[in-house]
Amino acid sequence: MDIKELMLDKAKKARKAARELAVISTEIKNRALLAMADALEKRRELILSENVRDLEEGRQKGLKRSYLDRLMLDENRIGQMAEGLRQTAGLPDPVGEGTYSTIRPNGLEIRRVKVPLGVIGIIYEARPNVTSDAVGLCLKSGNAVILRGGSEAIHSNQAIVSLLTKAAYDEGIPEGALQFVEVTEREAVNVMLRLNGYLDVVIPRGGPGLIKMVVENSSVPVIETGTGICHTFVDASADFDMALRIAVNAKTSRPAVCNAMETLLVHEDIAGAFLPRLEAAMREKKVEFRGCDKARAICPGMNEATEEDWSTEYGDLILSVKVVKNIDEAIEHINQYNTGHSETIVTDSFQNAHRFQWAVDAAAVYVNASTRFTDGFEFGFGAEIGISTQKLHARGPMGLDALTSMKYLICGNGQIR
């Protein structure tokens, strides 16, 4: 069977399973999710051993440290994957939820309810935890899923999928609902992007190159999950200790993820006092600085920031720093260079907090908190299928609701028009 035939076979099986899954009971779905979580924890040694293979091959290929961090699994991350499945099981089932109802003057009863999208294709890169997150959310929302992970995580993903599919099917999930693309050739992606009539939507998760390729080449509708050029603005009234905690966390807790801070903006009235403290705290974490002229005048050890730096997602321990005149300049800079992901202001001014949250164009806008909270698990969604930076259908962390569409149910007693 060639790649085109393989992909078409998977798509047909997924489409058939999707029709059954759309009407399956919440009880069966929840039992499957809990069994999947147990399977991950009981067979963690299998997952970890396969992950070691991926990491070793990645090092031999010369993958960057940030990429290896996304790829790496440990007992804690496997525990988080299992907990995400359990949280998803505990969430309300969106399928069938009513969102609108009315009785028209002619007696027609009209209801709008949530229904599954159908078959969802996920194309993603190094993070194997996406495998369990995607399967769990798709299953709970009544969708079949076709997963195409990156070649760098092939061993980890195959181990995870083998455990999840067995546990799910044993609990009554229709066979074919969970599909994984084992081949690593690029042609599989090209075929997947043309499976109109079988796939209802494609969701890419990864770097800008992958997302751009999917958006430009897919004839299947795409929900775009964007890159994360996230900012922290330290306002003139900010509490320095709070600002330092937030900035250090946003940059250094996991610099490779999309909700990490890439640029820090600081009000010029406090820059002279705040930036040396920031530099000292970040240097302890081995952060490299790239500052504007005003920032470098205060901290001469910073490298010079270029225009390219303001629009770069480093995914590493590198931080751009810019001194701004006021909140208006901060907002203008953010709206020019951000990717619509996550932005935060540290301030003691209610007026500025309100202005920032309403004027900044992003999916998640914070006051006095780290951008690192933009995450389906942290938002109480159990997990996330991705973080959408577009504005149609879904925006921000995509949980169960984002994986549903709608259907109108109309009941009459003989009305004609």
Q: Which residues pair with 298 in a beta bridge?
A: none
Is the pLDDT at 83 greater than 90? The verdict is: yes
Q: Which class does domain 230-373 fall in?
A: alpha beta
34, 120, 210, 373 alpha-carbon torsion, rounded to 10°: -40
Alpha carbon 263 to its chain's center: 20
Residue ranges matching CATH 3.40.605.10 in the chain? 3-226
Is the pLDDT at 36 greater than 90? The verdict is: yes
Is the pLDDT at 1 greater than 90? The verdict is: no
Q: For the residues 22-38, what does the mean pLDDT come to?
A: 97
Is the pLDDT at 396 greater than 80? The verdict is: yes
Other CB atoms within a 10 A radius of the CB of residue 408 amount to: 9
Residue 159 pLDDT grade (very low, low, confident, very high; cuts 50, 70, 90):
very high
Strand pairing category for 261-267 and 318-324? parallel
Average predicted confidence (pLDDT) for the chain: 94
Q: Which of 34, 135, 143 is nearest to 87 (CA)?
A: 34
Taking domain 3-226, whether its CATH number is 3.90.1170.50 is answered by: no
- What is d(CA 169, CA 405) in angstroms, rounded to the nearest whole number? 25
What's the pLDDT at 74?
94
What's the pLDDT at 126?
79
CB 90 within 8 A of CB 382: yes
Least confident of 37-46, 166-175, 224-233, 234-243: 224-233
Q: For the residues 113-130, what does the mean pLDDT come to?
A: 93
Residue ranges matching CATH 3.40.309.10 in the chain? 230-373
Other CB atoms within a 10 A radius of the CB of residue 212 amount to: 13
DSSP structural state of residue 362: S
What's the pLDDT at 363?
93
Q: What is the pTM of this model?
A: 0.84
Is the pLDDT at 391 greater than 90? The verdict is: no
CB 47 within 8 A of CB 73: yes
What's the pLDDT at 384?
81
CB 178 within 8 A of CB 144: yes
Residue 394 pLDDT grade (very low, low, confident, very high; cuts 50, 70, 90):
confident
Is the pLDDT at 355 greater than 90? The verdict is: yes
